[in-house]
Amino acid sequence: MKTVVLGGGFAGMAAALRLALEGHEVTLLERERVLGGKAQGFEGVPTGPTVLTMAEVVRTLFARVGATAPTLHPVSPLTRYAYPDGRTFAPELALEPTLAQLEGAEKKRYVELLETAHRLYDDAKHTFLLSKPPELWKLAQYGLKYGARAFPFTSLETLVQSGPYLTPFFLRFATYLGANPYQAPAVLHNIAWVELGMGVWHAEGGFAALVRQMAALLEKFGVKVELGVDIQALETQNGRVTGAVTSSGTYRAEKFVSALDRIFTLELLGRPLPRYPLGVSGLALLLKLEEPFLLSHQVYFPQDYALEWSDIAAGRLPSDPTIYLHTDGHSAFVLVNSPAVPQVHKREYAQHLLERLRKKVNLSVLEFGVRATQDYSRFGFKGALYGRAPGGLLSTLRHPWTFAGLGNLWQVGGTVHPGGGVPLSLLSGWNGAGAALGLEYDALGLDS
């Protein structure tokens, strides 16, 4: 059976692999000249994600197709945090060395919030992560059993209030889902457990190497990958998609899987667009360094974390943002949060960030590239990296894999169930394609 996959990010590649594994004749269409979506680099400097959570997803996916998984190295400390007054905090997966860095009542509060994050994750995982998009009865079942324990009328800010150091530390995890942490519901505190309780890994060779390995698997299983193809519309007739109209002609198939941003898919269908608020975007600096430098996963908090998010909520680039820095030899990746706005003066703001960064760490920058909202808008509507903003309990739910009235189109990727980020996008692509095949949900090792 012929199937067309739209989009060559991690979700699209995972979907194409599962379809090909089951004997489908698969064509994958990608607008860019390379696969990988937001994980593309800049002249040899990696961009996009720098660490992997839920490593079992990658290991299990490769095992499902009979391939050797990429080498993954556990990271410790998980991330290093630097505060404006000079204090640092570098939590580890082991609790004892983490608590040794905290003072007095902070130790007890850290343990309390870690245990709360673990419980929230365990309560929610079978409904929102390890199964297909939940139907109403399953949501009701979750609500009856765990709803009161999910702090339904509490904000994340209220839940994690712990003083000037631990409060921004715990708030920041909600940004991994594109949320403004000061507008997020308390249930998003479960994200903290994914990193602090389950750990993070480096992929050997970075995510660009992971993209290359998945591309090699696509070739091995006979997936026809066509790059530089601009998808212009999806033709429909009698409740089915009949063709993908592109700059290279119209592709016909019995089934279609879109791994594009869900709003892009709606645009291709000519359907009305939703009016919900969008999550945050980002601005990234991709640096080439004169002198080699090694500093893994460093976060520099601003003087006023709440002010940063007030600026973003107002559609402004923050003057004093939280800065994420990862260096690896002669290259470095810098990321700050940004509002999802049509256009920013990225070179000007990049210089501002470099000036702020030089006050914190001595990097010898030879040249740099910038990725801003207008660049990320090629991958996400208006540059929103995770789609809809999870600003309330109901808005944390992700859209299902199907579209009303269309029987042969499935939507996968970070803007639908189960969510954004590399492991969840892989889960979405693998299982959305599985749904197209009538297969059971495969938790890719997370249920072990």
Quick one: 411 and 395 in the same domain? yes
Residue 103 covered by a domain: yes
Contact 416, 399 (CB under 8 A): yes
Contact 52, 73 (CB under 8 A): no
The CATH number given to whatever domain includes residue 322 is 3.30.70
Judge whether residue 45 has pLDDT over 60: no
Quick one: 101 and 192 in the same domain? yes
Residue 445 covered by a domain: no
Q: What is the mean pLDDT of residues 97-105?
A: 96
- Among 198, 215, 230, the domain boundary falls at 198
Query: What band does 48 get if pLDDT is binned at 50, 70 and 90?
Result: low
The per-residue pLDDT for range 311-322, each reduced to its tens digit, is 999 999 999 999
Query: What band does 46 get if pLDDT is binned at 50, 70 and 90?
Result: low
Q: What is the mean pLDDT of residues 239-248?
A: 96
Quick one: 293 and 155 in the same domain? no
Residue 428 covered by a domain: yes
Whole-number pLDDT of residue 234: 98
Residue 76 covered by a domain: no
Q: Which structural domain range is residue 145 located in? A: 84-198
The per-residue pLDDT for range 115-148, each reduced to its tens digit, is 999 999 999 999 999 999 999 999 999 999 999 9
The per-residue pLDDT for range 334-377, each reduced to its tens digit, is 999 999 876 778 899 999 999 999 999 988 888 888 889 888 89
Quick one: 288 and 238 in the same domain? no
Q: Which residues pair with 266 in a beta bridge?
A: none
- Among 150, 165, 198, the domain boundary falls at 198
Distance CA 251, CA 234 (A): 10
Judge whether residue 393 has pLDDT over 70: no
Judge whether residue 47 has pLDDT over 90: no
Quick one: 186 and 96 in the same domain? yes
Quick one: 272 and 295 in the same domain? no
Query: What band does 387 get if pLDDT is binned at 50, 70 and 90?
Result: confident
Quick one: 162 and 230 in the same domain? no
Judge whether residue 438 has pLDDT over 80: yes
How many separate domains does the chain show?
A: 3
Quick one: 212 and 267 in the same domain? yes
Residue 62 covered by a domain: no
Residue 108 covered by a domain: yes
Q: Please give the mean pLDDT across all residues of the chain.
A: 93
Q: Which residues pair with 203 in a beta bridge?
A: 72
Quick one: 224 and 253 in the same domain? yes
Structure pTM? 0.95
Whole-number pLDDT of residue 262: 97
Better-scored residue on pLDDT, 195 or 296: 195
The CATH number given to whatever domain includes residue 431 is 3.50.50.60
- Among 180, 198, 216, the domain boundary falls at 198
Distance CA 348, CA 372 (A): 12
Judge whether residue 41 has pLDDT over 70: no
Judge whether residue 40 has pLDDT over 70: no
Residue 446 covered by a domain: no
Quick one: 93 and 175 in the same domain? yes
Q: What is the mean pLDDT of residues 28-38?
A: 91
Judge whether residue 170 has pLDDT over 60: yes
Quick one: 128 and 169 in the same domain? yes
Residue 74 covered by a domain: no
Distance CA 47, CA 289 (A): 15
Quick one: 395 and 432 in the same domain? yes
